[in-house]
A and B are shown apart, each in its own frame.
Chain A
Amino acid sequence: TQLLEQSPQFLSIQEGENLTVYCNSSSVFSSLQWYRQEPGEGPVLLVTVVTGGEVKKLKRLTFQFGDARKDSSLHITAAQPGDTGLYLCAANSGGSNYKLTFGKGTLLTVNP
């Protein structure tokens, strides 16, 4: 079973600051997804990356997939209180694997 390590586990910042969270593994993935989960709700997909070195932007969020497809990062520019939530990465190893493996998440708090 592949393991996904997310860091940091907790992050508390002020509105307007920039931040980066990481998702790392020793395994190679066919694809990697980032989800955001707000309190009392289920996770919601933000982005899927599939190509090594791929960079995707979603407004103030920038997602990068490592060249070797073993790691990923999420950078948020000028964080807002609405960005508060649990950020989860999830990976699929491909082939006949129908399952996603989730990291434990980074709990982000953006203070006004």
Chain B
Amino acid sequence: NAGVTQTPKFRVLKTGQSMTLLCAQDMNHEYMYWYRQDPGMGLRLIHYSVGEGTTAKGEVPDGYNVSRLKKQNFLLGLESAAPSQTSVYFCASALAATDTQYFGPGTRLTVL
């Protein structure tokens, strides 16, 4: 039982490049979330999903897209990376809306 895993752990991009961050959970959770964490800003919700095939916008969705084709995976895409997207990205999953959120170890992304 690995919990929540994130791939990759680190990535450096040039402005304008694209990439996809993968989050996988093996706990059969319905709810999955993508956050970004910046110094002095706390955790901010980018997008979330309440089940397979569904996605919704969070607090800071601009510049990101997501997909939840399989229940266990939640993908976060950056189509054209910008320096403002330099951050640490965390994925989380939960069994229900108000249940414990289990976080992955994070992906540290730098956009030059």
Do chains A and B interact in one complex? yes
* Contact of B101 with A45 in the complex, beta carbons under 8 Å: yes
Total count of chain B residues near the partner, CB < 8 A: 26
- Least Cβ–Cβ distance between A80 and chain B, in angstroms: 23
| Secondary structure dominating the interface of A | loop
With A1-B59, A98-B50 already in contact, the answer to whether A42 and B42 are too (CB < 8 A) is no
* Contact of A104 with B106 in the complex, beta carbons under 8 Å: no
* Contact of A103 with B58 in the complex, beta carbons under 8 Å: no
Question: Which residues, 83 to 112 on A, are CB-close (under 8 Å) to B?
Answer: 88, 90, 92, 94, 97-100, 102-105
Residues of chain B lying within 8 A (CB to CB) of residue A94: 98
* Contact of B40 with A42 in the complex, beta carbons under 8 Å: no
* Contact of B97 with A41 in the complex, beta carbons under 8 Å: no
- Least Cβ–Cβ distance between A107 and chain B, in angstroms: 10
